[in-house]
Structure formats: C-alpha cells, structure tokens
Structure 1
Amino acid sequence: MRKLIAGMKISADGKMEGPEGYADWVDAWSEDYGLSAQIDACVLGSGMYPGYEQYWTAIQNTPDAPLPMTGKLPTPAEVEWGRFAARTPHYVLSRTLDTANWPLTRFLRDAAELAALKQRRGKDIYLMGGARVTASLIDAGLVDELRLIVYPLIAGEGKALFASVRQRRGLELRKTETLDGGRLGLTYAIA
C-alpha cells in the first residue's frame, strides 16, 4: 500500500501560520522534505488549493519574474517544484470545489476516496495540507508519516498544526537532520 506522507514547515511552538494567515518565517515553499523521487501524487484541502494553484501557476508561467503574491523571485528549488507539480496528479479533498485550472487535478469527496487512492498502484502520496485536512486525516488513520521542518522561532499567535487533532497518536522518530538557519528536519512514523 502507498504511504500518505504529510510535510509541513512549522515554528518551534507548532504553528503553521502566524496571526496574518501565513507563515512569514518561511522564505521559500519548495519541497524540502526529500519527497520528489518517492511520490507520484499530491493531496491538498479545498481551503489551500486555490492559493496553491495560483502560486505555482505563476512560477510555471514566468519562472524569472517576481511572484505577484510575495514580490520575490522564485528560488531555483521552487522553479523545480513548479515543473514537478505541473506533471504530477493533484487530488483536492472537497465536497464543494469541482473545477480547477490544472488539467491533472481531481477531486476526492471524502476520506474513503483517499483510502481507495492509497490502495492503487503507484508511489507514495504527499499530503501538503492545510492544518484542518491534515488533522482530520491523522484522526482517520490515513497519514503514515510526518515530515516536519521546524523553524527556530516561537510564533505565538497563529494556527497550530495539531490544534484540531482529536485522538492521541504516538510518533516514532525515524530521522533527524540539522538544516541551515537553525532549522530541524524531523521524520516520524505515525503509530
């Protein structure tokens, strides 16, 4: 069976967004978890997907221009992920959305459809979130692995990654990695 692997960039106090609704401490949204060679599908929630599609479409269309959302040039790793994302199926968990600009986007209506996707042949699946979807899929027992990049700051107010997880889950530490800028890469299996 394929694994569902959640990857998140969080503050040391477990926030994935600050009070403004985004993680202003993250410089780039490249895939920094070492997943690209291991996955062939991505899953997102309906709240995250529209902004995700807009952000990566801008990079795909004009990789050498500043991004409209940030005013910054995309990093080489973001350009690389933009190319990967363009050729990779994306699944959006939503009961209401039914259209997307990306031709490889499909919609899953519930956790059972995601469970069926995990049973199909293929590589692992990257769960990119957001927080509510990640928490609900952890509660449903569908997330197999958690990869976190922990930034060395206390965000204070903001959206906690695990705030809406209802059931206690054990984690088995599989890998730690010291990253530049004082960040930590942590890989856990979810028990």
Structure 2
Amino acid sequence: MRKLIAGLKVSLDGKTEGADGTADWVETWSEEYGLTDRIDACLLGGGMYPGYERYWSAIQADPDTPVWITGAAPSQAELAWARFITRTPHYVLSRTLDSTAWPTTRFLRDFDAVASLKQQPGRDIYLVGGASVTAALMDAGLVDEIRLLAYPLIAGEGRSLFATTARRQGLALQDLRRLPDGRVSMTYAMA
C-alpha cells in the first residue's frame, strides 16, 4: 500500500500560519522533505488548493517574476518543484471545489476516496496540506508519516497544525536533523 506522507513547515510552537494568515518566516515553498524521488502524487485540502495552484501556476508561467507569497523571484528548488508538479497528478479533498486550471488535478469527495487512492498501485503520496486537512486525515488514520521543518521562532497567535486534531496520536521518531540555518527536520511514523 502507498504511504500518505504529510510534509509541513511550522514555527517552533507548531504554527503553520501567523496571526495575519501567512507563514512569512518561510523563504521558499519548495519540497524540502526528501520526498520528490518517492512520490508520484500530491494531495491537498480544498482550502489550500486555490492558493497553491495560483502560486505554482505563476512560477510556471513566468519563472523570472517575484511570486506573490514571498515577493522574491523563485529559488532554484522552487523552479524544480514547479517542473515536477506539471507532470504529477494532484488530488484535492473537497466537497465544494469542482474546477481547476491543471489537467492533472482530480477531486476526492471523502476519506474513503483517499483510502482508495492509497490502495492504487504507485509510489507514495505527498500530503501537501493544509493544517486542517492534515489533522482530519490523521484522525481518520490515513496519514502514515509526518515530516516537519521547524523554524527557529515562536509565531504566537496563528493557525496551529494540531489544533483541530480530535484524538491523541502517538508518533515514532524516524529521523532528526539540525539544518545549517537553525531549522530542524523531523520525520515521524504514526505509532
């Protein structure tokens, strides 16, 4: 069975967004979890998908122009991810969204559809986010692994990754690395 692997960038206090609704501490939105070689699909929640599509479509259309979230030109890693996702199927868990600009995007309406996707042949699936869908899929027992990049700051008010998690969940540490810029990379299997 394919694994569903969540990868999220968080502040040290577990926030995925600050009080203003952004994660302004994140300098690049590239895939930094070591997943690209192991995945062949991405899954997002309906709340996150429109901004994700807009962000990456802008980079794909004009790779030299600063992007709206960071205000900076895309990094080399972001350009690589933009190329990767043009050929990678995306699935959006949403009961309301039904249109997309990307021909490789499909909509899933419920957790049973996510469970069925995991049963299909293929590589692992990258759960891009957001925080609410990640917590809900954890509660449903569908997340197999979580990879966090913790930034060295306390965000304070904002959206907590685990604020909507309904049940206690044990984790088994698989990998822990200190990165040169003060971030910490953590990989956990769901226990």
TM-score band, normalised by shorter chain = over 0.9
Count of aligned pairs between the two proteins: 191
The offset of 1:69, in angstroms, is: 4.0
- The one-letter code matched in structure 1 to 2:163 is A
Structure 1: distance between partners of 2:57 and 2:139: 32
1:150 aligns with 2:150: yes
Structure 1: distance between partners of 2:186 and 2:27: 19
Give the corresponding residue for 2:61: 61
Give the corresponding residue for 1:115: 115
Structure 2: distance between partners of 1:57 and 1:180: 30
Give the corresponding residue for 1:88: 88
The offset of 1:64, in angstroms, is: 1.5
The offset of 1:176, in angstroms, is: 0.7
Gap runs ≥5 in structure 1: none
Structure 2: distance between partners of 1:162 and 1:108: 23
User: What per-residue deviation string (whole Å, max 9, x for no partner) do you get for residues 121-164 of structure 1?
Assistant: 00000001111100000000000000000001110000000000
Given the two structures, how large is their TM-score scaled by the length of structure 2?
0.98
Structure 1 residue ranges, 4+ long, deviating more than 4 angstroms after superposition: none
What's the % identity of the aligned pairs?
63
The 5-angstrom pairing of residues 1-191 of structure 1 reads 1-191=1-191
The offset of 1:71, in angstroms, is: 2.5
Gap runs ≥5 in structure 2: none
Structure 1: distance between partners of 2:68 and 2:21: 17
Q: For 1:107, what is the secondary structure of its paired residue? A: strand
- The one-letter code matched in structure 2 to 1:120 is Q
Structure 2: distance between partners of 1:43 and 1:160: 20
- The one-letter code matched in structure 2 to 1:52 is Y
User: What per-residue deviation string (whole Å, max 9, x for no partner) do you get for residues 55-101 of structure 1?
Assistant: 00011111112124432100000000000011100000000111100
Question: Is the 2:149–2:186 contact (alpha carbons within 8 Å) kept by the matching residues of 1?
Answer: yes
Structure 2: distance between partners of 1:69 and 1:137: 26
User: What per-residue deviation string (whole Å, max 9, x for no partner) do you get for residues 37-72 of structure 1?
Assistant: 000000000110000000000111111121244321
Structure 2: distance between partners of 1:135 and 1:66: 32
Structure 2: distance between partners of 1:88 and 1:179: 28
The offset of 1:22, in angstroms, is: 1.1
- The one-letter code matched in structure 2 to 1:36 is T
